[in-house]
């Protein structure tokens, strides 16, 4: 039985109030409301209205609105009050089963590594080691620990084996009915051919004053209003380079107040005090990916700082309320029965090959570690976690793969079946792009334009559309390939692609 509208609204309001009641913003609002009582314009006979007007004119009402807007974007999907907790996290039983099996496999791999290498999952650093790490905190990239014995717990191709099976099951169950091209077009009205776009008009033979100058002025007004909802709408047509960092932070409600800086410092202290096995995996991943990338190698220190702090942030555990996954758990060795379990690491993710590439592009926007951390954390708990969790969410990796395959099968059928015939599975090629939201594959300026739209539409679905558009763009060459390796070669380098023209043409300029 579905809930009626009034019940839904009541439950949503109650959820948001409960979430905000214990927040730092709540205590700030209380303090501001008490302090304003000493203002001469506050009258006893109109106390409630006067306090409300004071909070509005002083900007605190807008901060509250932005906080509510954030909660509405990350909260648990509403369901019947009697629904079991696991159903709230993921309604499809076979998806829950697949995710549980995958988690078991990953944790087993981590525990095996710990046993084989005789490296504890966690340990307290000796005082001398703590001091050394603190001294070299800003130059960790110069450290060259021996990581030869460590290997990524898994790579995207391993995850494809599991999520791909679920995709096949779901494909047979539901087909491509919900992935019609016209529905894609309707989902992105701001990307139509008659609308101005950053990433298109700024590269065309059009004087920038005709679009970009006016668009920058609109962006500055959005920022002056400090309205998260307006910033999100603005981002749908792209963010100017000089405004992007502030627009994204506003959309995500990612602040850098003294309390945020203090919290980051507390996480840093946790890194200095304790050594985790996953730290080695973070080092290894950065060395294998970002350090070898011409765009990102200069940010190596930032990547270590952000990812090591992320591995200690217990507040990230809150996203498991709406994530199909569960926190990884491991046992304390040597404990007698009953076995004691603890969450390992303290957050949701055991780093996989390429995980650091979720952070690397953000380093171009934020040069203050605490602000960089705040934005990455929000990006992760809204979007990136869905790229390595098995879920039926429309922004989940299985749905994105389904959408990609449906777009190819329906609108590029000859190409799709030709590739299948020569043993070049399109999804095997595209999966690595999708699971990293194209980070490390596109040039940074083009990637940031893509991520503008992820934030603007509050969805990862544009990633699947781009993956299909890449195949459409290279279709002529791909029709000539005779093997999987030759298809891979055609699509090996995406660094010269212009993202928005590809998406716009695929959605609106084709006859499909």
In this structure, what DSSP letter does residue 223 have? H
For 477, how many CA atoms within 13 A lie in the half-sphere containing its CB? Answer: 12
pLDDT per residue rounded down to tens, the chain (512 residues): 345 556 666 666 776 777 777 677 767 766 776 766 767 676 666 666 766 676 666 666 677 777 776 777 776 555 555 667 677 788 888 888 888 899 899 989 998 999 999 988 888 999 999 999 999 999 887 777 788 899 889 998 889 888 766 666 655 455 565 445 666 778 898 888 877 888 775 444 455 556 788 899 999 999 999 999 999 999 999 999 999 999 999 999 998 889 999 999 999 999 999 998 999 999 999 999 998 899 999 999 999 999 999 998 988 877 777 777 777 765 444 444 444 444 444 555 788 999 999 999 999 999 999 999 999 999 999 999 999 999 888 889 999 999 999 999 988 999 999 999 999 999 999 999 999 999 999 999 999 999 999 999 999 999 999 999 999 999 999 999 999 999 999 999 999 999 999 999 898 876 54
Q: How far apart are CA 293 and CA 291, in angstroms?
A: 6
Q: Where are the domains of the chain?
A: 3-75, 88-153+256-386
pLDDT for residue 48:
65
pLDDT for residue 336:
46
Comparing C-alpha atoms, which of 174, 151, 176, 168 is closest to residue 98? 168
pLDDT for residue 476:
96
Q: Specify the 3-state DSSP secondary structure of 331.
A: strand
pLDDT for residue 332:
44
φ, ψ of residue 342 in degrees (nearest 5): -140, 155
Crossing angle of helices 258-273/300-310, nearest 10°? Answer: 90
In this structure, what DSSP letter does residue 361 have? G
């Amino acid at each position: 039985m579905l809930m009626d509208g009034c019940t839904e609204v009541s439950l949503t309001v109650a959820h948001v109030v409960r979430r905000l009641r214990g927040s730092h913003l709540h205590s700030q609002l209380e303090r501001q409301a008490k302090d304003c009582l000493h203002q001469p314009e506050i009258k006893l006979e109109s106390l409630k209205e006067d306090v409300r007007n004071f909070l509005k004119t002083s900007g605190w009402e807008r901060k509250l609105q932005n906080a509510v807007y954030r909660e509405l974007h990350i909260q648990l999907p509403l369901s019947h009050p009697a629904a079991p907790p696991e159903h709230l996290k993921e309604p499809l039983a076979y998806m829950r089963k697949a995710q549980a099996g995958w988690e078991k496999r990953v944790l087993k791999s981590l525990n095996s590594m710990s046993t084989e290498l005789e490296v504890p999952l966690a340990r307290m650093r000796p005082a001398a080691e703590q001091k050394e790490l603190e001294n070299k905190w800003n130059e960790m990239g110069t450290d060259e620990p021996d990581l030869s014995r460590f290997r990524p717990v898994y790579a995207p191709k391993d995850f494809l084996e599991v999520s791909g099976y679920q995709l096949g099951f779901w494909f047979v169950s539901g087909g491509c009915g919900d992935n019609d091209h016209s529905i894609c077009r309707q989902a992105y009205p701001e990307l139509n051919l008659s609308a101005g776009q950053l990433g298109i008009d700024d590269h065309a033979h059009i004087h920038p004053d005709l679009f970009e100058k006016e668009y920058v002025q609109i962006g500055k007004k959005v920022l002056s209003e400090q309205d998260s909802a307006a910033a999100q709408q603005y981002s749908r047509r792209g963010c100017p380079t000089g405004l992007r960092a502030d627009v994204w932070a506003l959309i995500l409600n990612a602040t850098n107040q003294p309390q945020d800086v203090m919290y980051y410092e507390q996480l840093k202290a946790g890194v200095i005090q304790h050594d985790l096995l996953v730290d080695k995996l973070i080092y290894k991943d950065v060395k294998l990916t970002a350090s070898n990338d011409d765009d990102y190698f200069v940010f190596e220190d930032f990547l270590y700082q952000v990812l090591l702090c992320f591995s200690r942030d217990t507040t990230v555990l809150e996203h498991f309320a709406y994530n199909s996954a569960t926190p990884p758990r491991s046992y304390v060795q040597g404990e007698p029965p009953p076995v004691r379990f603890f969450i390992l690491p303290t957050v949701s993710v055991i780093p996989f090959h390429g995980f650091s590439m979720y952070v690397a592009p953000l380093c171009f926007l934020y040069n203050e570690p605490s602000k960089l951390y705040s934005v990455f954390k929000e990006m992760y708990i809204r979007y990136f976690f869905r790229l390595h969790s098995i879920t039926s969410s429309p922004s989940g990796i299985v749905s994105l793969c389904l959408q990609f395959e449906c777009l190819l099968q329906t609108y590029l059928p000859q190409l799709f079946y030709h590739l299948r015939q020569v043993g070049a599975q399109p999804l095997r090629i595209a999966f690595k792009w999708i699971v990293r939201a194209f980070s490390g594959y596109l040039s940074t300026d083009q990637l940031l334009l893509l991520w503008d739209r992820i934030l603007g539409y509050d969805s990862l679905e544009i990633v699947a559309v781009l993956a299909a558009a890449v195949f459409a763009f290279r279709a002529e060459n791909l029709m000539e390939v005779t093997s999987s390796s030759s298809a891979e070669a055609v699509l090996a380098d995406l660094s010269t692609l212009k993202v928005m023209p590809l998406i716009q043409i695929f959605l609106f300029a084709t006859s499909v």
